[in-house]
Amino acid sequence: MKTLLRLLVGLCLASGVASARAELSSVPFIVGKQQFKSGDSIVIDQVLTTSPKFEVGAKVVVRGHYQLASAAKASLGLFVTHRAPAGRDPFAPSQVESVGKAGGSFELSCAIAYPGDLHVSFYPATGGEAFGGLYFSDASRKS
């Protein structure tokens, strides 16, 4: 009986994970403003979202790769920039990844909590202002 119960719980969990992933769809996007220090770059390979437009309430997953030459370590972050003055926002661990000098791939995700502009940016490993990054938007909007 315990084995059957464990099997059912496992199947329910697997089903929940599968349905959560199923609601994400690949969407066309356009890259807007970008600025990097010499030798640094970020390239977005794929954007998945729960909505065809990047709107409040949507979950966004961004996959891509980077080159970091200007620092030994950095944080790579996916954030929404406010269109109006506001304070600092809390963020989820899935929005930030530690990266090292050279290159690699990344997957970052966030929920869009307010209207704004999405960007993936490099930040100093010890905290502080961005030192390079790019903005992107859904393909229906000019960045």
- Kindly list the distances between the CA atom of residue 57 and the CA atoms of 2, 51, 54, 116, in Å, as whole numbers in the listed order: 39, 9, 9, 12
pTM: 0.80
CATH topology of domain 24-138: Immunoglobulin-like (2.60.40)
Q: Which of 100, 114, 106, 101 is nearest to 134 (CA)?
A: 106
- The per-residue pLDDT string of the chain (143 residues; one tens digit each, 9 = 90 and over) reads 444 334 333 434 344 444 444 499 999 999 999 999 999 999 999 999 999 889 999 999 999 999 999 999 999 999 998 876 666 777 899 999 999 999 999 999 999 998 889 999 999 999 999 999 999 998 876 54
